[in-house]
Structure 1
Amino acid sequence: MFKLAICDDEKSSAAEAAELLERYRKSRGNLDFETDIFYTSIDLLTAIEKKAYDIYLLDIYIDKINGIDIAKAIKKNNEDAHIIFMTSSNAFYKDAFRIHAVHYLEKPILEEDFFDAMDRVCVVEEDNAYYTFRDSGEVHRVPVSDILYVESEDHYKRIVVGDESFLVRSTMQEIRQELNEPFFYELGVKSLINLKKVLKITKDVIVMEDGKEFSVPRGKYRTVSEMVLKYTF
């Protein structure tokens, strides 16, 4: 069972979210939710002092404390909480990106978009993709989605996974084909990054979750930033 909180100061919007959730539950038969609805930020913040939720559906414009600040408070107490924003404005995309929101839904919320956001949290794929390789005589098998980036070091390629790295004798083309996921992006011929693991992007640099910085290829900022948003949300 998933514990879920809806927070929206407009009762009609909160009711619409609850209705979408009920349709989602019925469409995914084996899922169950324990849902609480809040109409003020204070009520929600008071509740989370005693109860932890798995999923939060938050309006951005609630009252004196906006949804972004509420999300920061939630994440401070529970880093594993999943935040889905519901809003009539796209002004807070960057803020939502920085706190690793699951999705950013613009009102009126389409059922397809809502289901997609919930699937990212609730549906666990049975057949996770793994990448198997050999480093220093040892065979390693890591989830493809956990790979941050790959860098070329002469005839070897350094694969960075979390706080670990491995050296593999291979070509970048071979690794790209073996990973076979659209969220990997080639920065020239020497670097391959996981767009889902980008922490920040500016017109000059891409910062990965481990702090590693890559230069943005000339003329590619818009393309790369749009792809980052696509695979983050």
Structure 2
Amino acid sequence: MAPELPDFKEYRKSKQQRADRDLKDLLHSYDEWLAYHTNLREKVRAKHLFSKKTGCSIEQIESWPWKKYFEDWFVFDYITIIGTRLFDMYVKEKADQLSSAKVQLSGLMLTASLEPYQLVKKEESALTAKTWLKDEKKKLTILKDSSISLDISAPYFLTRSICCGFENRLISPVIPLRLPQDNSIILHWRDTIQAKEEEHQRLRFMKENGVSLMTYTDDEKY
């Protein structure tokens, strides 16, 4: 009797479910940590910096959807007065409590940046889009029960994702962008991103500067 072949489809499904659980747990744990470690003075400083980078007024940051955009940038990209990011601080404090799988996910989240895309296809729980670097197609998906909305009609958007299991999972809001029709902004950013890629500095550059693309946020969609 021939040996039974492994069910790779079932294996893939099981592995994805485990990875998704780990990501959900990690995000939930980070939210709880933030509740006790968010410094009000840091947040005030962050709002002024965010306003400078995006052109959004301090008052507007308190309104929807800018409040959501600011909070995401604050917890993942903002560099504190002591020169570190909040998620870095969380990982260092919790390192001995995290499983190896969560440590790997944390590593991906540490470097994940806001990236611009061109929308190709919209589905109920996924967006297919082209990157600005090489026009490569990428399928971006959300976790089950995620609060991230994929209701977007703008041709361009900004978001953050990480490779979780076999999927590119979104961990940040999808921010619609309205860009000049002459494509000058896209060409400028594409050239800059390509140059940084060749210098092996793309991730760092986008981590620090991706937020400035919010200057072109299409908030009329809300």
TM-score w.r.t. the length of structure 2 is 0.27
Higher helix share: 2
**Structure with greater Cα Rg:** 1
Higher strand share: 1
